[in-house]
Amino acid sequence: MLITHGHNLNLSFTKTVKILKICRPLFRLDHFLANILGRKYLYWSRKKYNQEVEKEAKKLSQRNQILVCGHTHLAQKDPKKGFINLGCLNFGLGQYLIVEDNSLKFYDLDY
């Protein structure tokens, strides 16, 4: 298992976040929509970035290894494709992974 933060990958999301932070009204709008619409908005606005994570996982993962990362704020668990994106603890979503006794337990909860 390879664990890293998504900003260590070459994702366009990192560049998008920098632009949003420079233009604060867009950043606030993104957070507002995520808080109001939750999963639907996150899926719509971040699906492209998880596809980039999947491509990076193919490059980085060796046989029987899984890339575990975050950064896009959209959880996706797909060990067959070689990656788990942890999502976020924000916007009313609790998405996280517990590694215990050689097993992975992925949680995706609303709060």
**Domain-located, residue 38:** yes
pTM of the model: 0.69
C-beta contacts of 101-104 below 8 A and 24+ residues apart: 104/66, 104/79
Domain count of the chain? Answer: 1
Which residues form the domain of 30? Answer: 2-85
Residue-level pLDDT, tens digit, the chain, 111 residues: 777 777 777 777 767 777 777 888 888 898 899 889 988 888 888 888 888 888 877 777 666 778 888 877 888 888 778 888 888 888 888 888 898 898 888 898 888
**Domain-located, residue 92:** no
**Domain-located, residue 40:** yes
Side-chain-side CA neighbours of 60 within 13 Å: the count stands at 20
Which is nearest to 74 in space by CA: 100, 95, 104? 95
**Domain-located, residue 105:** no
